[in-house]
A = this chain, B = another copy of it.
C-alpha cells in the first residue's frame, strides 16, 4: 500500500490527483490490473470527472451544496453533517483499471480528491493489484 498526502486549502474543494496516481502506477510496475484509491476520512471523498473546464468541478461542488446545505437541520453537533452526507453521496474510493502499465482514463477524465470539511491535511491510500 502507498500513501499520498493531500493538503486542502478551503472548506470545500475538488483537487486533481491524476498526476500523482499516474506516478504511483509507473512505480508499481504492474502490467495489467486494478488501482484502488481510498479516502480514510468521513468528511471527504473521491470521484472522477472532467477538469478541462474548471467550471465542471465548480458546478459539482455548488450543486452538492444545494442538495446538502451546510445549515441542516441536522442532529450531529459538530456542524459538519453536510460534509458527512456529501462524502456518502460521492463515495470513499475509486477503482481504476491498469492496462499496459498505465491507468485507463477517458480523454476528459481526471480523478479528484473531494474535500468537504477543510482546510485539512488528508491522506489517500492507494493499492495496485496485478491481474494474474
Interface residues of A (CB under 8 A from B): 1, 32-34, 36, 38-42, 47-50, 53, 55-56, 58-60, 62-64, 67-68, 72, 74-78, 81, 84-85, 87-97, 99, 104-109, 123, 125, 127-132
When A47-B88, A63-B85 are in contact, do A95 and B131 touch as well, CB less than 8 Å?
A: no
Chain B residue at minimum C-beta to C-beta distance from A128: B131
Interface of A is mostly: mixed
Contact A56 B42 (CB under 8 A): yes
11 example contacts (A-B, Cβ-Cβ < 8 A) are as follows: A36-B95, A41-B109, A42-B48, A47-B88, A53-B77, A56-B76, A58-B76, A59-B76, A92-B109, A106-B123, A127-B131
